[in-house]
Amino acid sequence: MNDLGPEDRLRFEQLVLPHVDNAYNLARWLLRSRADAEDVAQEALLRACRFFRGFHGGDARAWLLQIVRNTCYTWLEKNRPMELSVEFDEELHLQTCPTPETIAIAGDDRERLTRALETLPPRFREVLILRELEGCSYKEIAAITSIPIGTVMSSLSRARRQLYSALANSSQGACP
């Protein structure tokens, strides 16, 4: 990170560092792991710093989140390539039996939502996280994920439907 001169470094600290929480939160949900999120978010920040000279104003949060997202996908391709090819599988989802542990925490909605979100494919999970947790506009989501605005709308629709379905399954407990 030493490439930046003192002025650029100060600008980086003022513009980009306030969004470290957003960076970590997106990585945590994309990677479904806090430890991996910490590593990947750090790597993304390093990249952001390296390419900071190429950032000419604009929305620093969207710019950083774009880098975080790309770093996450690169990481997933390398470490868990299966996850990127798996589509949401309702059959598979229905088969998961409630263990004593899941029954014990079933009363906790936060836990239930977390599990349901984590069953969605990354591409649907990310639009939900960006919309519902980050409060991004469609335009920002399109910029961060590099998908057309029209597709943002249909992705959100499918993501929300899949989340419903995952939540419904988790509360049914489809085992004998």
Binding region for other proteins (CB under 8 A): 1-2, 6-7, 9-10, 12-13, 17, 20-21, 23-25, 28-29, 34, 38, 41-42, 45-46, 49, 105, 107-110, 113-114, 117, 131-133, 137-138, 153-154, 156-158, 160, 163-164
Question: Smallest distance, Å, CB 107 to other proteins?
Answer: 7
Chain position carrying tokens 């190429």: 54
Task: Please name the amino acid found at residue 104.
Answer: A
Our measurement of the distance from residue 54's CA atom to the centroid of its chain's CA atoms, rounded to an integer in Å, reads: 24
Cα angle 107, 109, 112; round to 5:
95
Closest CA to 128 of 112, 145, 111: 145
Q: Which is nearer to other proteins, 78 or 110 (CB)?
A: 110
Closest approach of Cβ 82 to other proteins, in Å? 24
Decide whether 60 or 117 has the Cβ nearer to other proteins.
117
Q: Is the dihedral of CA 38, 42, 48, 51 positive or negative?
A: negative
Least separation, in Å, of the C-beta of 138 and other proteins? 5
CB closer to other proteins out of 21 and 176: 21
Task: Tell the smallest beta-carbon distance from residue 62 to other proteins (Å).
Answer: 16
DSSP state, residue 131: I
CB nearer other proteins, residue 95 or residue 171: 171
d(CA 140, CA 31): 21
